[in-house]
Amino acid sequence: MGRQPERPQIRAWRPAVDGVVEVLHARFGSHAYPMHTHDAWTLLVIDDGVVRYDLDRREHGAVPDRITLLPPHVPHDGRSAVPRGFRKRVAYLDASAIDARYVGAAVDTPALCDALMRDWIDRLHGALRHSGDELEAQSRLCLIVERLEEHLGGAPARQSARDRGLAGRLRDLIDANVVVGVSLTDAATAFGVHPTHLVRSFHREYGVPPHRYLVGRRLDDARRLLLDGRQIADVATTVGFYDQAHFARHFRRLLGTSPAAYARSAVA
């Protein structure tokens, strides 16, 4: 009997994050995409293998150390260039997420080499996988879009006095809502600016994106409660995390240890 073709492994979902219309994580063995189009921007990273594709009748390659950005409504296909197939992660971004004037540049240069942005995209997908991380996903997406547009020919924006004022207003809003959190979209609407502009202003003023500032404030409160002897599950929800696992993941990422070990250190 001949070898059966490898069954694809696919996970797809629609996150509750403005600007992201769909997320796809997939592993394919022998599947080849026919020529097709999307009505969204395709932000693609390859985690294993190599993908060959034609975009606007020109051949390109997608490899693990490159970021691939395919514009809306431009025909492309895709097939594995190696026998083992490929593993990919895709965030489909709303057509309005990236300025339409960059479509031509994306057609000409769909592959981008940027190790920092590659890390940001990894972290974006991590946030998109978890409920409760919507502010992180929104913040990371805004920074990624800004960097993509710079790669495609946009000039880096300068920080102005107005931008510093916006950053201060957003920090005040976060400080007043540490437990319940802040919607970046709602804040941008209230301040009369685009979410990307708001994130950029905050990041340049304070050196961290809004979600990291909020997580830091929550963890400050959490550490004090843990040292007071409060139970971990109670601390997690009290300071605003979605659940104990969500809390523990952020705690370990920032402090390099678990909440339980941190709490035990007070006794020691």
Tens of pLDDT, residues 147-200: 999 999 865 555 566 778 999 999 999 999 999 999 998 999 999 998 888 998
Longest dimension (CA), the chain: 72
Token output for 118: 């590659």
Angle between helices 195-206 and 134-151 (to 10 degrees): 90
Which of left, alpha, beta for 207 (phi over 0: left; psi -120 to 50: alpha)?
left
Question: According to the model, what pLDDT value does residue 164 have?
Answer: 83
What is the signed CA dihedral for 139, 112, 87, 83, rounded to 10 degrees? 180
CA–CA gap between residue 99 and residue 193 (Å, rounded): 16
Gap between the Cα atoms of 24 and 248, Å rounded: 26
Q: Which helix (H) or strand (E) holds 225?
A: helix 210-227
For residue 99, count other CB atoms closer than 10 A to its CB: 12
pLDDT band at 1 (very low <50, low <70, confident <90, very high): very low
Which pTM was predicted? 0.81
